[in-house]
Structure formats: structure tokens, C-alpha cells
Amino acid sequence: MHLPDGFVPVGLALAGYAGSGALTALALARLRRLPDPRAEVPRAAMLTTVFFAASALAIPVPPTTVHLMLAGLMGVLLGWFAMPAILVGLFLQAVLFGHGGLTTLGLNGLVFGLPAVLAMAVWRGIGRRWPDLGALVAGGGAVLLALALFAGIVLAGMPAALDAGVERAALGVFVLAHLPLVLAEGLIVLVLVRVLRRIEPGLLRHG
Amino acid sequence: MSPCSRRLGAGVLAAGLIAPLPALSHAALIEAEAVQAIRLQALYDTGEPMAGAQVVIFAPGAPAEAWGRGSTDAEGRFVFVPGPEEGRWTVQVRQAGHGAMAHVETGAAAPVSVASAAAPGWADRAVTIALVAWGALGTALFAMRGRRRSDASS
């Protein structure tokens, strides 16, 4: 799910940085409006570790393996804090694991950040009235959006040297292999939201 | 000789007389030479081979123009014979937006083998995750400490 260095045209990579920068600026502006932004930092720091570690765990989905994305979880539990947390997590993944690259950090930030923002919006909208449904849609929808963004960027940045048909077919297999993740991440968010609502309702707000 | 094969032989002779000379000889020529080839194997960092991935080769000094193309086999292996240009050959292996690049030097002083990056083992990953968690814990505690102090002063 991470775009590596050297496979994306320079223009697209720069556009990714611009998009990620704008989204982060928006997130920070929203965070500044909070009465006490610092209160959320411990949770954001710990969830950044979870997000970072998720890419190191490969889950076999024959014929391939997939990684958890957790963008939906970040959006639901962190709100606007998800965006800076995801960028830090992606940076560490690129530097320490070689997942993704530094030139593509902006694009990867959008692939994971936009779904997190969507998950936050879903949680604050649907989750307010129907928490279970909101959690499921936020977790699963984030995976779907991330897949769509990833596939869109790969198709948009297809180099001329490549056989586009073969690459499109491979991308189709890749997206199909990740579809079980839609349900899995929806269930992960659902279970976590249920547990948190029971033991510490104050941790989960809707806005 | 049966009548049938005789007729066939005559037919071949007639065709040979009409057709231009090179078609007359059915002999084959083989020129064999030993060359230096580049062999690579592309794996995901989970250890799975990148089967059927596209390979794009760039000659030294021409990074914008593909010199050759191919695809890996079921084990993620690919072999090609580079041209006479000496220097750094770049090989890109790509599948569904994922992949890696490797650079192979050819020429007299070239190393025998290279790797694009070594995949970290499980112990390395566990240590890395533990270190990042340690950093996050420090960040969390720092934020909480600062908050308590500001609570006390207010």
C-alpha cells in the first residue's frame, strides 16, 4: 500500500507533498481550536506506534500477503490528530522498514490521511446516532478509499516504459487481495469502539 | 523408395530450382560465445517472490529511456545479457505499484553481486518497533508532564 521511491513521476510526487501539506495545515488549524490540544498528544503518540508497527505484520491472503492500514482506526480515535500522526508513522516506516519512500511521503500521506479524515467524518456523523454502524463504515470505508487512491495514483503515474495492461491486471489482483481487509478493519474499529465505550466512554467523542 | 516420397522429392527439387539460392540449403549455423549476464531475484520483504513482475532495464547514462523489458518467472528470477556499455545498469522490478530498483556495475572493476536492500529480520523489526514505542512513550509522558505543570500553575 506504500508507493516506493523512483516509481512515480516527479510532478505527481510534488503534487502529493502539496496535498499532504494542505491537509496537515488544515488539521493543525483545527487542532489549534481545541481547548487543550496537548491533552491528545499522549494518545496520538501511542497510536502512531500502533500504525507504524502494523505495516511490519504481514497477514497472508492467498495468493499474496497484506498489511493492516489502520487509517480508519486513526481517524476514529484521533480525529484531526490522525493526519500528523500518520505522517510521522509513514516517515518512520519509510526510513526504518523501507516501506514507501521519502519522495513519495506526500502521496502516501494522502493515501492514508484522506481515508482517516473520512473515517473521522463518518464517526462524527453516523457514529453519533449509531456507534456500531459508524465504526464499521469508518474502518471499512477507509480501506476502500485508500485502495481507490492508491490505484488511482498508480494508474495516473504509469510510466511509458511499462506494459500498462500487465500493470493494470496486477493492480486488479492487488485490490482484490485487499478486499477482505475492508471487513477486517471495519471489525477492528467496531470491537475497539465497543470496548472503549464500555471501559472509558470519555475517550471516544464525536467531535 | 515409395512413389509418394519420390513425388515429394521431385517437388522439393523443383521448388529449389525456382527459388533463390539461400533457400536451397537447410543447414543451420550456430555461433556460440560466453557472455556476462545479469541474474536477479525480486522478493517482497515478506520473502515471497515477485512472480510475473515487470522488469525494465536502463543502460548506463540513459536513465530516461528503457533499454530492455521483461518479466520475472514464478520465483521472481530474471536474467538478461547487458550490452557492451560499461557502467551502472539500473534494473527496476515493479508489480501493482510496488517494487524496487537495483543498480549493477559492469566492466572490469565491477563487483560480482549487489542487493537493492537487505530485508530486516524479525528480531530487527521487533527492536525497531520497541524503539519507536519507547519514543512514543517518551512523547506521551512529556506531554502529560507539561500539562500537569500548567494545571498546577493555573
Report all structural domains of chain B as residue ranges with CATH numbers, in order of start: 36-140 (2.60.40.10)
| Position with higher pLDDT, B148 vs A62 | A62
- ipTM value for the complex: 0.79
B50 C-beta neighbours (distance < 10 Å), count: 25
Q: Are B128 and A96 within 8 A, CB to CB?
A: yes
pLDDT surpassing 80 at residue B117: no
Q: Which residues of chain A are at the B interface, by a Cβ-Cβ cutoff of 8 Å?
A: 2-4, 6-7, 36, 38-39, 41-43, 45-46, 48-49, 52-53, 56, 58, 64-65, 92, 96-99, 150-151, 153-154, 159, 161-163, 166-167, 170-171, 173-174
Total residue count of chain B as it appears in this document:
154
Comparison of pLDDT for B130 and B20, the residue scoring more? B130
Look at residue B15 in the predicted model and tell me its pLDDT.
44
Q: Would you call B137 an interface residue with chain A, using a CB distance cutoff of 8 Å?
A: yes
- Mark yes or no for CB contact A49/B140 under 8 Å: no
Chain A residue closest in CA terms to B141:
A42
Record: contact A38-B44, CB cut-off 8 A? no
Average pLDDT score, chain A: 91
Please report the pLDDT score of residue B153 as a whole number.
54
B69 contacts on A by Cβ (under 8 Å): 161, 163
- Asked if the model's pLDDT at residue A1 lies above 60, the reply is yes
Which of A10-24, B3-17, B138-152: highest mean pLDDT? A10-24
At position A85, the amino acid (one-letter code) is: A
pLDDT of residue A121: 95
Helix (H, G, I), strand (E, B) or coil at B41: strand
Candidate from A41, A92, A162 with C-beta closest to B143: A41
Task: Indicate the residue of A3, A41, A154 with minimum beta-carbon distance to B140.
Answer: A41
Query: Among B66, B71, B137, whose Cβ lies nearest the Cβ of A161?
Result: B66
In angstroms, the separation between the Cα of residue B4 and the nearest Cα of chain A is: 50
User: Cell numbers of A165, please?
Assistant: 495492461
Which residue of chain A comes nearest to B90, CA vs CA? A6
Count CA within 13 A, CB hemisphere, residue A75: 32
Q: What are the DSSP E strand ranges found in B32-152?
A: 38-41, 54-58, 68-71, 77-80, 87-95, 98-106
Taking contacts as CB-CB distances below 8 angstroms, the residues of chain A near B147 are 36, 38-39
Contacts of A9 in chain B (CB under 8 A): none
* pLDDT band of A10, cuts 50, 70, 90: very high
Lowest average pLDDT, out of A31-35, B7-11, B139-143, goes to B7-11
Helix axes A10-32, A82-92, angle to 10 degrees: 140
- Min Cα distance A177 → chain B (Å) is 12
Supply the angle between the helices A131-156 and A71-78 in degrees, to the nearest 10: 130
**Mean pLDDT of all residues in B75-90:** 90
Under the banding of pLDDT at 50, 70 and 90, the label for residue B105 is confident
d(CA B58, CA A26): 41
Residues A104, A3: contact at Cβ < 8 Å?
yes
Q: Is the pLDDT of residue A190 over 60?
A: yes
**Residue B97 to residue A7, Cβ atoms within 8 A:** yes
Helix (H) or strand (E) holding B131: helix B122-153
pLDDT(B101) > 80: yes
The C-alpha R_g of chain A, in whole angstroms, comes to 17
What's residue B143's pLDDT? 86
pLDDT band for B6, please (50, 70, 90 cuts).
very low
Helix (H) or strand (E) holding B63: none
Rounded distance between C-alpha atoms, residue A182 and residue A189, angstroms: 11
- Section B1-19 average pLDDT: 44
Report which of B122, B148, B138, B125 is spatially closest to residue A48, judged by C-alpha positions.
Answer: B138
- pLDDT given at position B86: 86
User: Residue A107 in contact with residue A18, Cβ under 8 Å?
Assistant: no
DSSP B120: P
For residues B86 and A11, what is the distance between their CA atoms, to the nearest angstrom? 31
pLDDT at A143 over 80: yes
- Cis check for the bond before A63: say yes or no (omega within 30 of 0): yes
Q: What domains does chain A contain, in order, with CATH numbers?
A: 10-203 (1.10.1760.20)
Which residue did the predictor score with more confidence, A120 or B3? A120
pLDDT digits (tens, 9 = 90+) for A191-201: 999 999 898 87
Residue with cell 536477479: B40
Percent above pLDDT 90 for chain A:
72
